[in-house]
Each structure stands twice: as structure tokens, then as C-alpha cells.
Structure 1
């Protein structure tokens, strides 16, 4: 059955930098399903995370707002239930909405408008991972990143992360079949959110063996001594204890090898979902959206992981595939993951995104249908979590990227001339002052700084209090009524067998002997 409204498959990877994908020019990584979607779909070449850390980025994906607008400052900040998400808007438009996988929601609300959630999360939903800016650059050892992820890559047939993503894909595929068998008249938006290729960089042999160790490329920007890094990058170097271990060239290649293998693994899981849509006859009427929450330095400059507005950490993939609706094209105008809420809402409502409150993103529907790009289009970012000691901002417009924090010297890069961001033009270029004035006009930085500090201290206190006495977890407990799933004595065996079959059998009653 073909719906007037499209079904939507929204797939999200974790810590996937755009530069490591074949449709962004990487010569080695194998991702045939993503490459097909990119070839036939709309690729936003310059999409940025609003906040290069899991929970604040994913909250923005859901609600279209920057962290200071919501209080979702870091990986342990509560996502308020009173903020509308795309799931609310799509439900109003008649959609079934469902999440399989990771979203790192913090707080007792683990749905945020979604009708169903199929898995628990891979990371905790409480206040335990709250950073403390009073400590400046001091590590919080029990949960901060360290270099063990870089030193353990290799072949692993099962890990915490692989177990999670296997379940995410299996349940997402089953949900596709459930929608088609039991509720075929309704459009659906199914989000499948994977934890790969996030470190640690261990991968199954099937995907590891797609690459030869000697072919793995080294970083485009070799390791820099700590003193040569900008002040924020120096803090990242310290908070992730990057000087605790010696990382050899072999370690570097192995980590990148595992990362590439896990991109191929996510691509394979995506392919399985596409094949399920094909098998059910729904693919032609499905819009597939793919993105990530943030990137990974993967050894560039000697840095790892994220928490920065430099390209490997901040530049993420974003594509929309629906060849019968949107002609293939590549859009250069800068966009962000804050644009996802209004864009999904527009897709579900024939191009119109009517929202209950203003958001920081804008609908990309006009660009999907071939509209002209805006040469002054601006991508904004705001980072308020660990690794920083004061609010950190990004402005991306045309070829220019400007990074500002009151704690550090400004940075200005012309990405057209300097894609590796090696020459900071801020000390001498007049645009730096203009962009800084724009940032300071848009954000009340002293007030935001004060609010972040207050939130951190409140949450640190509450986490200690909630460890005393009886503990009631906020972590999501999947609600699956197995007692109704297969054949039970309050059902007709024949009716259940016929209804759960897809494609449905011919009308057997026509063959009954009269």
C-alpha cells in the first residue's frame, strides 16, 4: 500500500565525521548503501553539529534548539519534557513514531513525544556525567574519555557496542514488518540510532577484513606538540589524558582501521533496513534521512574524539533520499542538525512546517525541492560541556568559520583556501571583529556562563543525594508485551497466521467448498 504521506526512515550514526565517508571524498572507506543514497539523494555538503557531544547534539536533533535554549548543556543535563520535538509534530500529522537505539536522553522522560521505544539506551540517563567548570582542566577520571579506546582496536566478534547495534537493527527491521502487517494504512517515522563508529575501535572480522592494514591512511595533519595546539585543543588533550600513553603509528593505523570497519558495519545495517523496505513494497514511498551527532578527530593533529568546532569533530554527514520527490543534488550552503526538526515536519506536511514555538533551525525543504542557496546562510554552534571552561561558539558562513570563547583567542579560517584549518586569520582579518560582534549580539554569554555553572553545581549535588537510599533509575526499560506477540488462546490461530504473513495470502475463502 502506498501512502499519500511518505514513510520516514531516520538513521543516525554516532561520532561519524563527514570526511571519512566516500561521498565526501574518502578514497578508502567502503559504504555502498550510503554511497547509493548520496548518489541518488540530496547531500548537504556542509552540515555541522550544533554541539559536538552526544546528548546536547541529540537533543537539538529532536527539538531544533541550541543548548542554552533548553538547558541540555552536556551529557548529564536533563532534556525538559515541555519542549516540542519532531515526534510531537509528526504524531499530529498522523504518523506512527518509533525509536530503536541510542539518543542519550537524560531525565525521567525517555520518549520525548515518541510513541514507542524499542531498546534501552547504551549510556546512563542520570546526572552522573556532569562536568565541573570550577575544576578548569582537571580530569574526572571515572567517566572522561582516555586513550584506552585508541590502544584496544582490532577484531572482536562481540562488544558492548556491537551487542547494542545488533539489537537496534533487528528490532528496527521487525518494526518495519510490523507496520506493514498490522498498521499498513498509517505512515510511520522510524528512527534507528546506532552507537557505531564511536570508539572503542573494535570491529567484526567481516568488516575489518574489508581493509588491508597497510592501506590505512595516516592523518592529513600529523600530531602536533601540545604547545602548538590552540588553547581549547590543549584542554582536550589534557581532559582525555592524551599524554598518558604512547600512541605509535601502528596504533594510529589500527584505530582508524577499526573506525573504517565500523562505518562499513553501520552501512551494512542500513542496507538491511533498506532491503526490508524493498521487501514490503514501501521503499518507493519512503524518505530516508541520514546524519550523525558529531565527528571524531581520529588522530588528526594528535587529537581524538570530539568536543571541538574544528572540522573533524564538527562537520557531519547529512543526506535526504527520496528520488521520486527530490532530485539528486549537492548543497553547499552551511546547515546544522538543528534544521532536522523543521525539515521532518515539512516532509510530513507537504512542505509546510508550522511550529508551536520558534526554533534555531530552519526547514531545508526549499533546498530539497531545488531552491536557490543563500550565500549568507549561517550555521551556528554552541558548546557548553566538558573540555570547555566557558561558552564556546561557532559561526560558519560561506567559506568562513569563526570560533569564539571568552576564555581563548578567536579563531577564523577560510575553509576554501585552508580546509585543514592550519592558518588562524583572526589576529589580522577584519571579518573576525565583525563575526565576534555577531556572536556577542546573538548570545548573552555572561548570563549563559552563569546558568551553566549553576546547573552543574545543582546536578552534582543531586547526583550525590540520589546515590543515598533507594535508587529509582531513569534508564529506559523497553515495554514489550510478549504475551500478545505470537499465537495465544484468546486469538484465532488461523487469523493470527494470516494477518502476520506478508505479503498476505490470496483470499482463501474463495476456495472453500460450498
Structure 2
């Protein structure tokens, strides 16, 4: 069958996968051969960041090309506006078949956001029940991260995340075979989004046993509670880190399970890549591997994400298209909002006028071609553990973190990759701090952002309380399946059915 000349685009997304735990970014122990294969043949971004170190805001920024505060994506219970164009809208407008499998954490009644097909439900709720309350910071939310994931880390037989990710992987592969056997000549844009290696830190023995306790490295950086910065102390409170003693064995078990979860993710990626090859579509498919944020994994005595240290904010980013781009590595800082204009370039042109003027990202095409491109990543954090906006600017070797309620942080990552030496109060760097502060003031009205967040939280909490009474009408996506069209049915021509379902075909078209 003759397909469109536009390339297929397949995005493989993993949840909470820190680059520092991947061998392609230097980890000596973790086994991820399929990701390594993508990297060896692709363009590897060594300094890619999320735009918010939290699941839903990061994903909404990735899909829209906009920073979280510009679309009201403050936390994991914020509605993603239905009138906000996304990558899926753009590519669908260009003639792509747009397909989503797995987690995207859409909140609100629109559960498609430009995707023509959605193959699974989400793993997380689509309502406002997880809305934080900055005005009652002392009250820990019962539905948020806790240290239970670390305290109970270890091997398991089954978890709901395994159920979910194996379904996501299966339906992705089945859809690829369906596309290969079908008569729809449109190129496809597909997102497969797994929830591993996100905590809880539990993984079957098959993956747990890939690693030995004696080989699991301890966290590189340990910082006593008394020496933590104010936001780190807030994060310790919101996840209940000081409610239980955490032993070295528990830390080791959590890290071992996390490594095993990465190997699980890698295996699912390998199955999908094999399916692409078997179906004859690999050559014309651009594959992107990304994450939504990182995982501290005990570094700095912190867990999970929610901060702009390297462990929480950096993400893997690999673009695999060896027929288009020579394998190489990119040192410049980039971020997930850059993917919207990049995919527009890959699909064949500029973004539509309704989208281009408001994009915060820039195309990564110069980087993909081995040329100079923008070196900048901008971030915002407005979720749990914050009491005011926190923003980040990464440019060159410097990272600047600012919040109206906290002391500034300035790190020279070339000289201080572990971010141990805060230069913000050093007189020698006063000029740089002043310049960054001016840029923050130009980019954001942080007082207005804070007011918007607080008002939005109040509205959502009211709606969540009201809709929990009486008969609840849920927004969670319900995948549609027409069983009358599955497998073999009486109204089908059996010979044609069997011939069309077999791949490669053994009869004429």
C-alpha cells in the first residue's frame, strides 16, 4: 500500500523517568538496551527539562507548547481547556490520524484534546478531587504522595500499574498492526504513555532480580534536614517524610525497584519497536522518547519530583530518525514546550496562525540537524508543596530558581553538577542575579499568578465538594469498543476477513 509521504510520528512517554537513571545518560548499572538502541541511532538531548515537575502540568505544556500558568495548568487537578489547541489538533488538521494510548492525566469533560482515537482510559481521575489548598499548607492531603512507596519498596507479583502498562503496550501494538493491515493511507501520530517507573517502588521478581542489593548505589548527595532550603522542607512535609524513619535498606530497595521498573519500561518499548519493524513502518516513523519529569530517588534526601533540582526537573529526550538525522548529542538546554513547533516542522510546515503566536517553545530542528539552536529552558511550579509560584530559568551553564517567598538559588551546573553551591548570595554573582530577577519580572507577574492560582483552587474545591453529593457524573474516559466488528462475525465475508487480517497479505488488495 502506498502511504503518505509525511512521516509517521510515535511518541514513547514514561512517567517519572530520570535521565540520571538511564545508561544512555551515564548510569553504569541500569539495563535498558532498547532505549540504548534508540540513543545509538538517534539524537540525544543531554539537557532537556520539563516545564513543570508534576504530571498533569508537564503534559499539558508538552501538548500545548505553552507554560502552565498560561493555560491554567497549575496542578494535577486542573482542567485542560478544551479550546486550547494541542499537538494532536495541529497534526490532525494536517491530515494525521491521531491516537493516544495510556496516561495523559486529562482533567475535565474533554478527554480527547485533538486525539481522534483513545485506546485506554487513564490511570488517574479526571475530576477536581485532587485540588491542593495553599491556604491550608499544614494539612497534608490524604491523596498525595507519601513515604509509603519507599517504606514498602520491594518485589511484588502484581500492581495496578502493571495491569495498566501492559494493557497500554498491548493496545499500542495491536493498533500498529491494524494500521499496517488497514486501508487508511493517512500518516499516524501516536502517543504511548506508560505510568512506570513512577512509584510505588514495586516490581515483579523478573525485573527485581536483574539487580543485586550489593550493586545498588547510595544517593550521591545527602543533605541534613537542618541544611535544606525552604521549599525542600515544604516537600518533606507534604509527603510526610519526617513521620517515619527510613532505613538504608529501604532506600536501597526503592532504588532497586525503580531500576527494575525502568527495565520493564524498556521491555515494553522494545516490543513496540519490534512491532514497527514487523509491520514495515519503522523506516517512515520518527520515534521520540520523552518523560514528563524526573525522580529524586533519595538524592538530597528528597523523593519524587516537585522541584527544579536536576533530579526532579530533567527529562530524557531522544529523537530517533536515522534516515533524517545523523546520530549525535545536543548539549544545549531545551524543554518539552519545544516539541509542539518541532513536530510541526517534522510534519511539513509552520504551525497554524491560531497556534504560532502564543507558543512558548521553539523548533528543535536546528539541533536535530546538528546546527546551533536556542539554549534555554523555562519552568514553573504551582502545585503541592508550594505556597507561592516557583519559577526556573536554565540558560548556558546557569540555573536560576526564584520564588517570592524563598531565597533565590543560582547554580553553575558546569562547575557544580550536584547543585551544592548556591551562588545567589555571592557578591561576585550579584550582577547575574539582578539580570535574572529583571527577566523574571518581565516574564511573569507573580503576584497575579498567585492570585489566579488561589482563586482557581477555591473554585475547584467548591465544585469537587458539590459534585461529590448525590449522583456523581464522572469525566473519566470510557474507551469505546464495538464488539460486532471484532474478530469473526456473521455479517463478514470470511475469506476476505481472514485475508485482510493476515499480515503480510497472501491475497491481492
Q: Answer whether TM exceeds 0.5 for this pair.
A: yes
Aligned to 1:257: 256
Question: Residue 332 of structure 2 aligns to a residue in which SS?
Answer: coil
Question: Residue 52 of structure 1 aligns to a residue in which SS?
Answer: coil
Aligned to 2:377: 379
Runs of 4+ in structure 1 off by over 6 angstroms are: none
Deviations 1:174-228 (A, max 9, x none): 0000111113522111110000000001112221111111100111102x22221
Aligned to 1:211: 211
Aligned to 1:14: 15
Deviates more, 1:39-48 or 1:483-492: 483-492
Q: Decide whether the 8 Å contact of 2:180 with 2:280 is kept in 1.
A: no
Aligned to 1:421: 419
Q: 1:354 Cα deviation (Å)?
A: 4.1
CA separation in 2, counterparts of 1:189 and 1:498?
26
- Structure 1 residue 97 corresponds to structure 2 residue 98: yes
Q: Decide whether the 8 Å contact of 2:364 with 2:373 is kept in 1.
A: no
Aligned to 2:60: 59
- Structure 1 residue 199 corresponds to structure 2 residue 199: yes
Q: Decide whether the 8 Å contact of 1:87 with 1:113 is kept in 2.
A: yes
Q: Decide whether the 8 Å contact of 2:62 with 2:337 is kept in 1.
A: yes
Q: How do residues 12-161 of structure 1 correspond to structure 2 at under 5 angstroms?
A: 12-140=13-141, 142-161=142-161
Aligned to 2:450: 449
Q: Decide whether the 8 Å contact of 2:56 with 2:105 is kept in 1.
A: yes
Deviations 1:410-455 (A, max 9, x none): 0000000000000000012121111111011101111111000000
Q: Decide whether the 8 Å contact of 2:366 with 2:373 is kept in 1.
A: no
CA separation in 2, counterparts of 1:457 and 1:85?
27
Q: Decide whether the 8 Å contact of 2:20 with 2:311 is kept in 1.
A: yes
Q: Where does structure 1 lack aligned partners over 5 or more consecutive residues?
A: 509-514
CA separation in 2, counterparts of 1:380 and 1:482?
47
CA separation in 1, counterparts of 2:465 and 2:350?
46
Q: Decide whether the 8 Å contact of 1:3 with 1:285 is kept in 2.
A: no
CA separation in 2, counterparts of 1:475 and 1:115?
17
Aligned to 1:323: 322
Aligned to 2:239: 240
Deviations 1:293-341 (A, max 9, x none): 1111100111100000001000110110010011111111111111111
Aligned to 1:228: 227
CA separation in 2, counterparts of 1:272 and 1:348?
25
TM-aligned CA distance change 1:185 to 1:281, over 3 Å? same
- Structure 1 residue 478 corresponds to structure 2 residue 479: yes
Question: Residue 114 of structure 2 aligns to a residue in which SS?
Answer: coil
Deviates more, 1:197-206 or 1:393-402: 197-206
Aligned to 2:162: 162
Deviations 1:57-97 (A, max 9, x none): 01111111111110111000100000000101111121111
Aligned to 2:285: 286
Q: 1:355 Cα deviation (Å)?
A: 4.7
Q: Decide whether the 8 Å contact of 2:309 with 2:419 is kept in 1.
A: yes
TM-score under structure 1 length normalisation: 0.96
CA separation in 2, counterparts of 1:221 and 1:338?
30
Deviates more, 1:325-334 or 1:180-189: 180-189
Aligned to 1:462: 463
Q: Decide whether the 8 Å contact of 1:57 with 1:293 is kept in 2.
A: yes
CA separation in 2, counterparts of 1:191 and 1:378?
25
Aligned to 1:360: 360
CA separation in 2, counterparts of 1:195 and 1:392?
26
CA separation in 2, counterparts of 1:476 and 1:183?
27
CA separation in 2, counterparts of 1:427 and 1:505?
72
Q: Decide whether the 8 Å contact of 1:76 with 1:106 is kept in 2.
A: yes
CA separation in 1, counterparts of 2:98 and 2:486?
19
Aligned pairs, number: 503
Question: Residue 262 of structure 1 aligns to a residue in which SS?
Answer: helix
CA separation in 1, counterparts of 2:112 and 2:364?
25
- Structure 1 residue 391 corresponds to structure 2 residue 389: yes
Q: Decide whether the 8 Å contact of 1:119 with 1:168 is kept in 2.
A: yes
CA separation in 2, counterparts of 1:90 and 1:103?
18
Question: Residue 377 of structure 2 aligns to a residue in which SS?
Answer: strand
Q: Decide whether the 8 Å contact of 1:137 with 1:235 is kept in 2.
A: no
TM-score under structure 2 length normalisation: 0.97
Question: Residue 240 of structure 2 aligns to a residue in which SS?
Answer: coil
Q: 1:482 Cα deviation (Å)?
A: 1.9
Q: Decide whether the 8 Å contact of 1:9 with 1:189 is kept in 2.
A: yes
Q: Decide whether the 8 Å contact of 1:343 with 1:353 is kept in 2.
A: no
Q: 1:344 Cα deviation (Å)?
A: 1.4
Deviates more, 1:86-95 or 1:418-427: 86-95
CA separation in 2, counterparts of 1:359 and 1:227?
41
CA separation in 1, counterparts of 2:269 and 2:423?
41
Aligned to 2:174: 174
Q: Decide whether the 8 Å contact of 1:232 with 1:408 is kept in 2.
A: yes
Deviations 1:366-420 (A, max 9, x none): 221222234xx22100111111100000000001000000010000000000000
